[in-house]
């Protein structure tokens, strides 16, 4: 007798809005969100797709970076994660999950808006893991402002340095260590294609991330290094609760085709696919995951 396939209605798979109004100071912690995001802790099952690979994930303590780090480990990779010292509580959980998957885990806290630290981050990751062949530039900063006149120089500077300067510095330091077959993955955003007015400077940086992917893929193709990006839509991560007014979170993701915010775990398999050698003809591509919106 043929078994019926296991199907899940994507509209009902996770909590739907309205969500509880909430706020946290930057950089925010996943464990204090309501509902707590699904990063794949109890759901992602690996199959050896990244056995003995060596990955560095920025923003690996929470959100999409956390989901990618967990998935990489369960697929057989050793993983180094970068995060801000204030996120240590979340980072410790990720390190434990990586080790529980039987892989080596390395915590490298620090501020990626500092060029010297970016260089040290790559150096430490390479030394600790014995090499590097997956780089995920995922960490990001965003704040909402009604108009361009309201954006303080300090916030604009933090957005540019976190989202544009840091991926450039980190990638520049990493490329000399990455052998043919390596993969670089950049977290862009639906904001690069369908920007919200209140996220003007953040949207600028995400558009720059898209161009980084496309131009760098052309540079590194001859070295056998693939470069791709992921453009998430509204995803339930700590970045949202420390950057948006509580009233904006109530209906977060309600206007998507699926009627809800995405969960980090729903994007993890995309990062695995882009890192996997079997995706060897994908480079310079942006993969969308926005619940029905966006252009990629």
Tell me the pLDDT tens digit for each residue of 104-125. 999 999 999 999 999 999 999 9
pLDDT-based confidence at residue 101 (cuts at 50, 70, 90):
very high
7: pLDDT strictly greater than 90: yes
Share of the chain above pLDDT 70, in %: 100
Can you give the pLDDT at residue 3?
A: 82
pLDDT mean over 120-138 = 98
126: pLDDT strictly greater than 90: yes
Closest CA to 32 of 86, 81, 110, 107: 86
Can you give the pLDDT at residue 258?
A: 96
53: pLDDT strictly greater than 90: yes
Tokens of 145: 């402002």
Tell me the pLDDT tens digit for each residue of 213-257. 999 999 999 999 999 999 999 999 999 999 999 999 999 999 999
pLDDT mean over 52-58 = 98
49: pLDDT strictly greater than 90: yes
Can you give the pLDDT at residue 283?
A: 98
Can you give the pLDDT at residue 220?
A: 98
Tokens of 152: 């303080």
Q: Residue 253, by phi and psi: left (phi above 0), alpha (psi -120 to 50) or beta?
A: left
4: pLDDT strictly greater than 90: no
Q: Annotated catalytic, 44?
A: no
Tell me the pLDDT tens digit for each residue of 147-188. 999 999 999 999 999 999 999 999 999 999 999 999 999 999
Closest CA to 264 of 243, 239, 245: 239
Domain 46-289 falls under CATH 3.90.650.10: no
194: pLDDT strictly greater than 90: yes
The residues, any chain, with a CB within 8 Å of residue 108's CB and separated by 6 or more, are: 80, 81, 82, 121, 124, 125
Can you give the pLDDT at residue 294?
A: 78
Per the omega criterion (within 30 degrees of 0), is the bond before 27 cis? yes
5: pLDDT strictly greater than 90: no
pLDDT mean over 192-219 = 97
Catalytic hit among 44, 141, 202, 271: 202
Cα 98 from Cα 106, distance rounded (Å)? 9
1: pLDDT strictly greater than 80: no
For the chain, which residues make up each domain, given as ranges?
46-289
Can you give the pLDDT at residue 61?
A: 97
């Amino acid at each position: 007798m043929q078994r019926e396939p296991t199907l899940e209605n994507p509209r009902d798979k996770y909590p739907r809005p309205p969500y509880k109004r909430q706020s946290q100071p930057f950089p925010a912690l996943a464990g204090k969100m309501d509902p707590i995001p699904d990063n794949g802790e109890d759901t992602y099952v690996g199959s050896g797709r990244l056995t003995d690979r060596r990955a560095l994930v920025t923003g690996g303590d929470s959100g999409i970076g956390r989901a990618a780090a967990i998935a990489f480990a369960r697929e057989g990779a050793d993983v180094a994660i970068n995060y801000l010292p204030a996120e240590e509580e979340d980072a410790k959980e990720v390190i434990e999950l990586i080790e529980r998957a039987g892989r080596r885990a390395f915590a490298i806290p620090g501020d990626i808006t500092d060029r010297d630290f970016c260089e040290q981050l790559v150096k430490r990751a390479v030394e600790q893991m014995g090499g590097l062949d997956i780089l995920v530039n995922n960490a990001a900063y965003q704040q909402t402002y009604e108009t361009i006149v309201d954006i303080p120089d300090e916030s604009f500077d933090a957005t540019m340095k976190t989202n544009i300067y840091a991926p450039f510095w980190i990638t520049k330091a990493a490329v000399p260590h990455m052998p043919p077959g390596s993969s670089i993955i950049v977290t862009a955003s639906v904001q690069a294609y369908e920007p919200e007015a209140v996220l003007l400077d953040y949207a600028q940086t995400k558009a720059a991330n898209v161009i980084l992917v496309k131009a760098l893929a052309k540079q590194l193709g001859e070295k056998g290094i693939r470069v791709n990006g992921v453009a998430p839509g509204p995803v339930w991560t700590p970045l949202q609760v420390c950057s948006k007014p509580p009233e904006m979170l109530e209906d977060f993701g309600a206007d998507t085709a699926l009627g809800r915010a995405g969960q980090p775990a729903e994007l993890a398999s995309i990062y695995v696919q882009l890192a996997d050698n079997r995706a060897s003809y994908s480079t310079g591509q942006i993969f969308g995951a926005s619940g029905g919106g966006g252009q990629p």
